[in-house]
Structure 1
């Protein structure tokens, strides 16, 4: 475009892209159609005059969908233009992101109704027209979207991602170590295939005093800004009340009216602020509701009261809140049957087709944190996950009520510490594979809890791309696994045949590869039923000079999904040395010799269990013992010694993945500890 004083006129017509149609999961599982509004629009953008450094424009908006009683029109400029003055609409622009908001006299648009506004702007270098507009969050191309049922909308959220420990953090958005949320973060998550974001928000620190409990407008604006970022990038958003659940709501049994008044005040303000947002914004009543000094049946009653109050406030607030998707939890988001039944009764009583249920799933606790011998993705762990999904499905999904697993993952997967994860790596991958399959099989949407352990918020890169590949692959298919992901061979001596059991997961086994080289069936391995056996000759070749650690990685490939990695590891029995130190700084010098710890037992001389969680001899990884494979130590924590009796020796038994055990004795005397190798 030439920069001249010549006045010229040009015109651009745009409208709203229809929502992507979501295929019904199963014809019999789609609930009754909700009352959501059809949405669509058309925009006529005209540059009516242009001069050096400035221009005038007129914008006409035509609503093609159901009537709206408020509108926001948003667009961006590629060349950095800015609005300097606007008439017949309120200018809410930020830099190159332009936003016009309706005024009282033109806020209502009937189906087919139009309104216009104008503005003056500045430009430098070029004045390229916008290429797209959004009316109330909807992209524009002139088509009209059909409303989705609750089941369809929840299906369209799969997979989801939590922006954890951020807007829910105490002390502000960066209070727990994560950076501010940016649009680049949202775009990164979107590019990785995520369809929705759960936006946990803690409100308490940003509230005024009773009785109004006014939310700090700066905080409410920031929450809205993040929601706007996600919606503008075609992601659904689930907004909630988060850590307030334990900060003050837990006092509801003893301060019933006070807690309820505060809760209702917060939701009244949230509902009012977001009532004109598009249906892609959903509300979750509260995260993990819990109550001090109350048993489960009484807790279920209080959760029902909160969910019903939430429903009444949102539905009565007008705008798009009349048919917005509302998400309701069980007591502490438990998937136990009594809690599922209690929530089902609440949802049935409300008789509202735009409600979804939510629970959280971190797997069986012993496996999730590696305690009580929960070191592997055993048949028991797998069965517990399977039956949990079945219970939730049979209670809700089978009756047309969609389910969001609002948080899921593994509690011991923590990148704030050097050893990630607590679980053996292959066993962790089996957990991810199994969870993804169950969610797909039982038609539920998963929202990964990520407080920074999966996506590095600083670099915007996945910390472990292979874990992420399992999450991605599991959306559409299964992957084959095996009974273990490693074969340990001693550093010296003859190597024998070694066998693993294949878990085909309905797939065909296609062979083994070492890099680009296919291993020879018969000479390198045999398969009998589900037993995969590596020959001694193949293992000897793969082990090479048998340096401690991983000498080779072989891929077991299947007809679909990801290959299963099998590591050939050389090792000797680890060696622990005598040591002394303080209870808060005691480390055992250790030569790991290529092996790694699976778990640690602690017992007194009479056989009783020592240390925290004295109901099991197997102690919790990291909470009580911390291996440092590079530094050559095993540190026992102060928390461990605080739960150990003074003057009574404790026998520690370290179990290693190579199959061996090593015993070690520690004795505490006051604040000092002595350790003796067996």
Structure 2
């Protein structure tokens, strides 16, 4: 679909957008195309040619005729007011000379029909495509607008068929890849596809992931163990055929596909500093074979040089140089095979796929030197480390977690996106969110993190590919392990959701109840009310709202808690003007009771009556007040690595890893629970023997 609209008008300039004067020549032409469309969504490309005097700072505006909405833009920032859209120049493309053309694009949503806009304005005036003219009489002052991410209705995300034509540049390609999903711990597993617990990949799995709204799939592959000796390093034909099969299935399902060398980075490539010739020969042999094999595949196949490059005993500054050498060699070898590889999008990582500024600067220099328009940068993001693994008291989505997220995304945006280099967050999640290790990350805090990652990536034009090693999607049943987690992640692709300071309200088992308060995080939404069991609760009687403080009344809590048995008694939903409702669990709990125990450093379990409460973290200190156990820089030990609660078994296990770094003598443990309760417990180690009792 293509629409060409001519603009004829006096162009408005200056901070207040006032007319330049009668002598200024003005006019422009707009070429609006939709190179790809699928049920519920589309990609649009907009080219604006300036037919008048040079301008510095532009806004292009139009009105959608069929209720469409912009969901993600590149090379411009979009704002909306109803059906009206205003696209504003980025810092790097604001200047527009006479006869020059600027391009920007976006992904959008639609329902019913997707008729193209019929008229555009440049800096507030309409046109016909000829130079000269006067302001359109229908032009009105630009209204106050709200960023589209906070007002855009959530589209219905459905599988997208193969586009009839591909996006026209690297920025558009990467934008069309949003959102993405990793086939983790599968072809990258050592030594084979099922070695790390996932079943064989099926086409049904890929079709299901596609139907859930994912537009791209990253297929990590560890080639080590699947190729022969020097000098040819021939890839095992059966292994290569299996990789080809999964790549082809994915392309057939309509995915963009990103293929790489994965754990090879630490299995053999990390010896590059001391064995450069051998590593380079192997690296080149693999990419020669892979580039030749996939040369004629769809341009929706994207190649990534190597995952998380790292080098043994090498300072980061020197590691940057080694990554530059490998990345440049990769680009040269793939491009030299011709065919589709001559223009295929190639993805280059930083050292460790880190978003630290020196690592980003080194990759930016590499990309500038390559002078190749079809290059994207990639980093990984697993959040602020104490929160990602629950150590050092990092139990909540705190201001430190938020700042780490914003700073990381701002750095990659300013280093790459603002220079017209697209960015793929090739992996993201939290390191310790895992169904096999429950309790490390509190669910509500994780939901806040998911919501924020989606928002901050979307508003910066970053494409995200969630790392899923089986902790999100159960590949045997093709069901999400936690439907609410997936709902929050999916909602974040297009809109914000409201959250709160907690998703838990704790009540005692006995005694009178009082009102309980939570602070709402509106995130640009408006609070609509509370629901329980499909029915609305009554404002004023069941709850009150004072600013952003939501209080459940004592009478409502008494009704919801019922007999007040230990555990979750009820769940209410806080509903907002958009996004996913925030679930609040009404929990009855009493102070946990820990019993005396005798054991060894290899096996020590504390009998525990949790009484409806949940363990958040544990501190460990010697009698002199110094920190005990691993990571002695903090008193708060790492959840699971040092201690593991088991509610069903009624125990808290102290691990051998914890005792490996505890000296003989007395250690005071403080267990922090999510209700706010703290329980102190004392252990005494003598050799391999350990005894413990409540303080």
Q: What CA deviation, in whole Å up to 9, does each residue of 1:420-440 have, x standing for no partner?
A: x51111001101111111111
Q: CA deviation at 1:220?
A: 1.1
Partner of 1:199: 219
Q: What CA deviation, in whole Å up to 9, does each residue of 1:410-456 have, x standing for no partner?
A: 11111233x2x511110011011111111111111111111111111
Q: How does 1:46-445 map to 2 (within 5 A)?
A: 145=165, 147-417=167-437, 419=438, 421-445=439-463
Residue 74 of structure 2 corresponds to residue 26 of structure 1: yes
Q: Is the 8 A contact 2:36 2:44 kept in 1?
A: no
Residue 652 of structure 2 corresponds to residue 634 of structure 1: yes
2:588 to 570, 594, 606: 570
In the alignment, structure 1 segments of 5+ residues that lack a partner are 1-16, 35-137
Q: Is the 8 A contact 1:33 1:149 kept in 2?
A: no
1 CA distance for matches of 2:371 and 2:275?
29
Partner of 2:63: none
2 CA distance for matches of 1:635 and 1:313?
53
2 CA distance for matches of 1:528 and 1:139?
48
Partner of 2:132: none
1:477 to 471, 486, 495: 495
Q: CA deviation at 1:582?
A: 2.2
Partner of 2:688: 671
Q: Indicate the SS of the match to 2:665.
A: coil
Partner of 2:87: none
Partner of 1:594: 612
2 CA distance for matches of 1:263 and 1:672?
51
Q: Indicate the SS of the match to 1:649.
A: strand
Q: How does 1:7-18 map to 2 (within 5 A)?
A: none
Q: What CA deviation, in whole Å up to 9, does each residue of 1:564-611 have, x standing for no partner?
A: 111111111000000011222211000111111110001111111111
Q: Indicate the SS of the match to 2:672.
A: strand
Partner of 1:9: none
Provide closer, same or farther for how the CA distance between residues 144 and 408 of structure 1 changes in structure 2, counting only shifts above 3 A. closer
2 CA distance for matches of 1:448 and 1:564?
22
2:561 to 543, 554, 558: 543
Q: Indicate the SS of the match to 2:544.
A: strand
2 CA distance for matches of 1:374 and 1:18?
45
Provide closer, same or farther for how the CA distance between residues 654 and 139 of structure 1 changes in structure 2, counting only shifts above 3 A. closer
1 CA distance for matches of 2:74 and 2:268?
41
2 CA distance for matches of 1:497 and 1:457?
43
Q: How does 1:509-588 map to 2 (within 5 A)?
A: 509-588=527-606
2:512 to 467, 470, 494: 494
Q: Is the 8 A contact 1:483 1:502 kept in 2?
A: yes
Q: CA deviation at 1:145?
A: 2.2
Q: CA deviation at 1:347?
A: 0.6
Q: CA deviation at 1:146?
A: 5.2
Q: Indicate the SS of the match to 1:432.
A: helix
1 CA distance for matches of 2:651 and 2:332?
58
1 CA distance for matches of 2:279 and 2:417?
32
Q: Indicate the SS of the match to 2:328.
A: helix
Partner of 1:603: 621
Q: CA deviation at 1:309?
A: 0.2
Q: CA deviation at 1:480?
A: 0.2
2 CA distance for matches of 1:262 and 1:410?
33
2 CA distance for matches of 1:190 and 1:525?
41
Q: CA deviation at 1:648?
A: 1.2
Q: CA deviation at 1:23?
A: 2.8
2 CA distance for matches of 1:617 and 1:587?
20
Give the TM-score normalised by the residue count of structure 1.
Answer: 0.79
Q: CA deviation at 1:312?
A: 0.3
Residue 637 of structure 2 corresponds to residue 616 of structure 1: no
Q: Indicate the SS of the match to 2:467.
A: strand
Q: CA deviation at 1:388?
A: 1.1
Q: CA deviation at 1:669?
A: 2.2
Q: CA deviation at 1:147?
A: 4.8
Q: Is the 8 A contact 2:35 2:44 kept in 1?
A: no
Q: CA deviation at 1:144?
A: 5.7
Q: Indicate the SS of the match to 2:313.
A: coil
Q: Is the 8 A contact 2:35 2:167 kept in 1?
A: no
Partner of 1:649: 666
Partner of 1:60: none
Provide closer, same or farther for how the CA distance between residues 639 and 595 of structure 1 changes in structure 2, counting only shifts above 3 A. same
Q: Is the 8 A contact 1:624 1:639 kept in 2?
A: yes
Partner of 1:90: none
Q: Indicate the SS of the match to 2:225.
A: helix
1 CA distance for matches of 2:484 and 2:549?
26
Q: CA deviation at 1:668?
A: 2.0
2 CA distance for matches of 1:139 and 1:557?
34
Q: Indicate the SS of the match to 1:668.
A: strand
Q: CA deviation at 1:19?
A: 4.7
Provide closer, same or farther for how the CA distance between residues 154 and 146 of structure 1 changes in structure 2, counting only shifts above 3 A. closer
Give the TM-score normalised by the residue count of structure 2.
Answer: 0.78
Partner of 2:148: none
Provide closer, same or farther for how the CA distance between residues 174 and 656 of structure 1 changes in structure 2, counting only shifts above 3 A. same
Aligned length: 554
Q: Is the 8 A contact 2:259 2:303 kept in 1?
A: yes
Q: CA deviation at 1:636?
A: 0.8
Q: What CA deviation, in whole Å up to 9, does each residue of 1:182-220 have, x standing for no partner?
A: 111111111111111100001110111112211111111
Q: What CA deviation, in whole Å up to 9, does each residue of 1:87-137 have, x standing for no partner?
A: xxxxxxxxxxxxxxxxxxxxxxxxxxxxxxxxxxxxxxxxxxxxxxxxxxx
2 CA distance for matches of 1:579 and 1:355?
60
Q: What CA deviation, in whole Å up to 9, does each residue of 1:488-540 have, x standing for no partner?
A: 11111221122111100000111111122212211222111111122222222
Q: Is the 8 A contact 1:33 1:148 kept in 2?
A: no
